[in-house]
Structure 1
Amino acid sequence: MSAQQPPSPTFAELGVAAEICQALSERGIVHTFAIQELTLPIALDGTDIIGQARTGMGKTLGFGVPLLDRVFDSADIAELDGTPRALVVTPTRELAVQVSADLEQVAKFTPVRVLTVYGGRPYEEQIDALRAGVDVIVGTPGRLIDLHNQGALKLDQVAILVLDEADEMLDLGFLPAIEKLLEALTHQHQTMLFSATMPGPILGLARSFMTKPIHIRAESAGSQQTHATTKQVVLQAHQMDKVAIIVRALQCADRGRTIIFTRTKRSAAEVANDLGVAGFTVGAVHGDLGQVAREESLQAFRDGIIDILVATDVAARGIDVDDVTHVINYQTPDDPMTYVHRIGRTGRAGHSGIAITLVGYDELSKWQAINSELGLDMPEPPRLFSTSPELYSMLGIPEDAQASVGESRRVFGGFSSTQRLRGPRTGSRHGDSKRDETAERITSPRPRRKARKR
């Protein structure tokens, strides 16, 4: 019998301030994940870091905990005076909101104040919040540059810069904005760059603007790219039968929170509508929805008011829920890493999960490329229909599963003015989605208290 693997070190054992450990403990977080265990000792010393870990490995706390610890109580960072000491840059507003919420929770027993900024809201309220004083800013590149150009965002006292999901910022075309931000930080500061993948331009950025960074990977190069606790189910499905298959799959007895990924904004809206008509509690998150509607859906999903979220890849950044039991790919992802990111939303933090991918008849070559790259040994998924007994057996669908589960329900997030509620589709063609626009939210500053040194 092999020896039991010892537990990972606690945050306290790695030297994190007691106030931060207390806030983490309240959330049931005591021991570190791999990326946190590797990152903390180096980050707490102020060293530049390139952190690489896939979705669900805990990298937000990997940079968030040392950032807050140093801003709160580091001898080489000036006392808090309402001028930003740390800047976290994220590619999307949803991720900015999620990261900011995590930092606020971890900082609750410290005087550190966190502000979230992203485009789509009036500048005046953001400028007023900056004038009132903040210590950590989380925001998207475009709005951060705008505020800096207006003179409202002072960067001369920023001691820590974090670039989160750097590969996604590259994909969204934000690299020029990132370079402008980096050029504005002419003084000495710590930079932490976190990314799931490390494409050439990101490595080039790191070499240009970082000082002797240490590259940290949470897992060995040969380790599995997908969670071992995630069961992967792949099948070929006719476009006109995909929604019917999903309706049956959603009736599994062990299903909890579920995320359904679509390639386009239109298909996200249509699938959410179809499931609402079928009687499910569902929300939509995509770029054609207003910010209020998007936040309504995300919050309802986090709070358990709805248990199904239909989302595009970009809009889904920032969904940080550990107990997602099912992820469903309505369409085959465009590339292997998108597949890894999507199914990484389930099987997290020790939970088990199921990832279902519906491969259209015209998507087989795309799936085979993913299968080959990731070594999944599923080059020819079976062709199944919503009435196939094999489907029921494969997914644990009860024999009495129906085409609907009740009366039509409102879709959280609603629809744009050009859309209207209608019955399930019988098939459609979907165009490419445009890049999501950024929007804006500001968190309320916390009353100041004098920092206590440990």
Structure 2
Amino acid sequence: MTFKDFNFKEQLQKAIEEAGFKEPSPIQEQAMPFILNGKDIVGQAHTGTGKTAAFGLPILNRLKGKSGVEAVVIVPTRELAMQVSDELYRFGKFLGINTATVYGGQAYARQIKLIENASIIVATPGRFLDLLRGEKIDIKPDFVILDEADEMLDMGFLDDIKEIFTFLPKERQTLLFSATMPVAIKNLAKTILNEPEFVTLTKSDVTNAKITQTFYVVDERERDDALIRLYDFKNPKKSIIFCRTKKEVDRLSTFLVSQGFMAKGLHGDMEQRQREEAIRAFKTSKLEILIATDVAARGLDVNDVTHVFNYHLPFDSESYVHRIGRTGRAGKEGVAISIVTPHEFRMLQKIEKNIGTKLEAKIVPNISSVKTKKIADLKQQIIDQEIKDYALELVEELKEEFDISTIAFKLASMISASTYVQGNNNIGKSESDIKRLIENSLRGGDESSGRNSRGRGGRFSSRGSDRDRDRRKDTRSGSGDRNSRPSSDRSKFPKSDKPSKPRTERSRKRD
């Protein structure tokens, strides 16, 4: 199926083609026919599946072009309001559709003036309700959309939403979209929707099938070391790290910057200007890492996030779904990595049960493995590098003082500095540790140690004894120093840890 099959208006189809859209996503393919036929719907789909286009395209197609506001989109955060507004403008630009973005922190007079000339309002609940209560606006929209309804519930906006609908006409088409369906959202749907159609992805699709989900078990004191080692090994292009608290965001961002990463924090105590600057820098790749709380990252829409890291597991599965949904967007593949302690293992299993997906257990790569990968990546980078004219001139100048082999050795020594790996050789639990941990948790044993049983099985494809053997060798040789570099280590790692391109010196500084 293609977007042409929906028979959109010519101007709308032109914008769709210009945006590079060809085939609809599952939520778009299922939801748009109902919306075009005037039906209320409840759509359940995780973030990044194209929900904005799923409601935006059919609504734009059905707008009559009359004066006044014809559609209202209510979203949980100002960041999401701006993003939805931008996307609707992009699709509606050839239709002459104006969009007003309404959220707190801006002057009422300016927003009211924008509304007077708009066909669509994209608003956060608090400011929109203020305008309605104060009778500053008088609108009768034909279409009302609630986007990220479960996020608005978590943020305490449920009562505001209910009151907003008392100001809206009863004759309307209402669309509700949510990644998860808690009881409160189901009850809300019953009160504001009229005989809705339900568009629900299967439970296994609640988390995007294109997102690889893994976890690493470490002791509490090893979280920072494990995070650095995983960044060294995976070398993500653009990533988000989720923390539970604002204090943890500030501490971790300071730590990562001290380690040479281009990183910034994002949380609710920051001024709006600072938050917008951080998000803009992240979108334009001036930042490679954004460290955020769940609340701050709500509505964050960046299509090229390659990895999501859970520095701590969230307290509930809904937050987990929203977190990992920041990667694997727009049909791309993504990676979600959780760092957990033995004490958090039960929480991990609860999340797995609720989302209907098993996360793959892995061990943190040791120094030898990371260094081998870095050297292989560096060799490939040299092979792929085209020869520039200015490089030829430089080499000719150097040949006046050194022979060609010496020049090559010196240049190789310079670039090989990027293969340095810091930290202890082995970080986190071994495969056999985690297997015992899994077995103990299934038996209801002590999840903090995982040492009371020695059964077989687990989630690993390689043998756990290799890692344990390395640990014993490290203990005998005294190689536990943070800056140690053992010369031989043969741990096996799951094949799903795919190589990525090496980090350039400009984006990563190392001592």
Q: What CA deviation, in whole Å up to 9, does each residue of 1:194-228 have, x standing for no partner? A: 011222221222211211111112x334x343333
3-state SS, counterpart of residue 145 of structure 2: strand
Residues 1:108 and 2:108 are matched in the alignment: no
Change over 3 Å in CA distance of 1:382–1:231 after alignment to 2? closer
Q: What CA deviation, in whole Å up to 9, does each residue of 1:166-186 have, x standing for no partner? A: 111111111111011111113
Change over 3 Å in CA distance of 1:397–1:183 after alignment to 2? farther
The amino acid of 1:208's aligned partner reads T
Decide which of 94, 116, 122 is 1:138's aligned counterpart.
122
Q: Which is worse superposed, 168-177 or 269-278? A: 269-278
Structure 2: distance between partners of 1:392 and 1:80: 64
Q: Kindly indicate whether the alpha-carbon contact (under 8 Å) linking 1:95 and 1:317 is maintained by their aligned counterparts in 2.
A: yes
Change over 3 Å in CA distance of 1:249–1:127 after alignment to 2? same
Structure 2: distance between partners of 1:395 and 1:372: 36
Aligned match of 2:272: 291
Q: What CA deviation, in whole Å up to 9, does each residue of 1:356-415 have, x standing for no partner? A: 101134423222322343455569x5675x8566788999998934459xxxxxxxxxxx
3-state SS, counterpart of residue 338 of structure 2: strand
Change over 3 Å in CA distance of 1:35–1:354 after alignment to 2? same
Aligned match of 1:85: 70
Change over 3 Å in CA distance of 1:393–1:240 after alignment to 2? farther
Change over 3 Å in CA distance of 1:397–1:369 after alignment to 2? farther
Residues 1:188 and 2:207 are matched in the alignment: no
Decide which of 388, 400, 408 is 2:419's aligned counterpart.
400
The amino acid of 1:66's aligned partner reads P
Aligned match of 1:148: 132
Residues 1:198 and 2:181 are matched in the alignment: yes
Decide which of 159, 174, 187 is 2:142's aligned counterpart.
159
Q: Kindly indicate whether the alpha-carbon contact (under 8 Å) linking 1:55 and 1:196 is maintained by their aligned counterparts in 2.
A: yes
Structure 1: distance between partners of 2:373 and 2:81: 38
Decide which of 193, 199, 203 is 1:210's aligned counterpart.
193
The amino acid of 1:360's aligned partner reads T
The amino acid of 1:148's aligned partner reads L
Change over 3 Å in CA distance of 1:107–1:363 after alignment to 2? same
Structure 1: distance between partners of 2:82 and 2:96: 20
Structure 1: distance between partners of 2:355 and 2:207: 9
Aligned match of 1:249: 230
Decide which of 202, 213, 237 is 1:220's aligned counterpart.
202
Structure 1: distance between partners of 2:122 and 2:98: 11
3-state SS, counterpart of residue 95 of structure 2: coil
Decide which of 306, 310, 317 is 2:287's aligned counterpart.
306
Structure 2: distance between partners of 1:326 and 1:269: 20
The amino acid of 1:347's aligned partner reads G
Change over 3 Å in CA distance of 1:285–1:226 after alignment to 2? same
Structure 2: distance between partners of 1:249 and 1:344: 20
Aligned match of 1:434: none
Q: Cα RMSD over matched residues?
A: 2.6
Identity %: 38
Structure 2: distance between partners of 1:232 and 1:378: 5
Which of 1 and 2 has higher RCO (CA within 8 Å, sep 6+)?
Answer: 1
Q: Which is worse superposed, 166-175 or 343-352? A: 343-352
The amino acid of 1:203's aligned partner reads K
Decide which of 70, 74, 80 is 1:95's aligned counterpart.
80
Aligned match of 1:23: 15
Give 1:272 deviation, angstroms.
Answer: 1.6
Give 1:327 deviation, angstroms.
Answer: 0.8
Change over 3 Å in CA distance of 1:295–1:403 after alignment to 2? farther
Aligned match of 2:5: 13
Q: What CA deviation, in whole Å up to 9, does each residue of 1:223-269 have, x standing for no partner? A: 34333332222112233332232223223465221111111222122
Change over 3 Å in CA distance of 1:375–1:199 after alignment to 2? closer
Structure 1: distance between partners of 2:212 and 2:376: 15
The amino acid of 1:176's aligned partner reads D
TM-score by length of 1: 0.78
The amino acid of 1:32's aligned partner reads P
TM-score by length of 2: 0.70
Q: Give the count of matched residue pairs.
A: 383
3-state SS, counterpart of residue 12 of structure 1: helix
Residues 1:359 and 2:340 are matched in the alignment: yes
Residues 1:323 and 2:342 are matched in the alignment: no
3-state SS, counterpart of residue 86 of structure 2: helix
Residues 1:179 and 2:162 are matched in the alignment: yes
Q: What CA deviation, in whole Å up to 9, does each residue of 1:259-292 have, x standing for no partner? A: 1111122212221221122221123221011111
Q: Kindly indicate whether the alpha-carbon contact (under 8 Å) linking 1:118 and 1:144 is maintained by their aligned counterparts in 2.
A: yes
Q: Kindly indicate whether the alpha-carbon contact (under 8 Å) linking 2:73 and 2:147 is maintained by their aligned counterparts in 1.
A: yes
3-state SS, counterpart of residue 109 of structure 1: helix
Greater share of residues in helix: 2
Structure 2: distance between partners of 1:200 and 1:375: 19
Structure 2: distance between partners of 1:266 and 1:68: 43
Gaps of at least 5 residues in structure 2 are: 378-417, 424-511
3-state SS, counterpart of residue 263 of structure 1: coil
Change over 3 Å in CA distance of 1:199–1:396 after alignment to 2? farther
Change over 3 Å in CA distance of 1:350–1:126 after alignment to 2? closer
Structure 1: distance between partners of 2:245 and 2:56: 32
Structure 2: distance between partners of 1:295 and 1:25: 30
Change over 3 Å in CA distance of 1:401–1:99 after alignment to 2? farther
Change over 3 Å in CA distance of 1:198–1:140 after alignment to 2? same
Residues 1:370 and 2:356 are matched in the alignment: no
3-state SS, counterpart of residue 265 of structure 2: strand
